[in-house]
């Protein structure tokens, strides 16, 4: 039920950066991640590192619709960014829950686009609360949520939801020696 309600509001984000080779020829480089519909005005929440230094950002929905986005706000200290799209008939905004009432052992789901596989749901529990993780600018983010729900590259920016379908965090990073889920993922508390 959580997936059916929240899944359509989870988006696939593609960012493009133009780099230059040795001969000063432009070389487009793409990255991808996840995000979610925050309100009915076209605001999308994601991670800062998903859109960092992007020259172009595109937001795609489950039905295949794709829209150019502008970066309205970004904060590397919290690894959060807000995008804006102009799209008709947006899916419903995901309700934001209160992360101050979470408990270790509580079930959570993560929805995102790991390895480009759109709208994938993983299930786990809150493994720990008030973890401190490093932000993209080398500072520290306090009160992160640790989970064993599989978080992989591409899940970044997607929602971590409680069983009521409320966003309690934004999936952000993992600890792994292989680069894939090792059962230690982190979300920025709502």
Q: CA 151 → CA 60, 88, 108, 168, 190, distances in Å?
A: 20, 31, 12, 15, 17
Q: Is 43 a catalytic residue?
A: no
Indicate which residue of 9, 32, 34, 49 is catalytic.
49
Please give the helix or strand (H or E) that residue 6 lies within, else none.
helix 2-6
Q: Is 101 a catalytic residue?
A: no
Collapse the DSSP code of 7 into the 3-class scheme (helix H, G, I; strand E, B; otherwise coil) and give the result.
Answer: helix
Q: Is 79 a catalytic residue?
A: yes
Indicate which residue of 9, 15, 135, 156 is catalytic.
156
Indicate which residue of 15, 79, 127, 190 is catalytic.
79
Q: CA 177 → CA 83, 138, 183, distances in Å?
A: 31, 20, 11
Residue 24 exposure: Cα atoms within 13 Å on the Cβ side: 0
* Beta strands 56-60; 66-75: pairing state: antiparallel
Collapse the DSSP code of 50 into the 3-class scheme (helix H, G, I; strand E, B; otherwise coil) and give the result.
Answer: helix
Other C-beta atoms within 10 Å of 140: how many?
10
Q: Annotated catalytic sites, by residue?
A: 49, 79, 156
């Amino acid at each position: 039920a959580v997936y059916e309600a929240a899944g359509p509001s989870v988006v696939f984000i593609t960012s493009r950066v133009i780099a230059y080779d040795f001969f000063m020829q432009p070389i487009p480089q793409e990255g991808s991640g996840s995000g979610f519909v925050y309100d009915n005005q076209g605001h999308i929440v994601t991670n800062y590192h998903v859109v960092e230094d992007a020259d172009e950002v595109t937001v795609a929905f489950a039905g295949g619709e794709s829209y150019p986005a502008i970066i309205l706000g970004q904060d590397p200290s919290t690894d959060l960014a807000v995008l804006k799209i102009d799209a008709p008939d947006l899916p419903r905004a995901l309700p934001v829950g209160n992360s101050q009432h979470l408990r270790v052992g509580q079930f959570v789901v993560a929805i995102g686009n790991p390895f480009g596989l759109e709208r994938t749901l993983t299930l786990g529990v809150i493994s720990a609360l008030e973890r401190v993780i490093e932000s993209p600018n080398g500072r520290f983010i306090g009160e992160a949520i640790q989970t064993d729900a599989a978080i992989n590259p591409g899940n970044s920016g997607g929602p971590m939801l409680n069983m009521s379908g409320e966003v309690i965090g934004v999936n952000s990073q993992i600890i792994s020696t292989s680069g894939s889920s090792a059962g230690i993922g982190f979300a920025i508390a709502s």
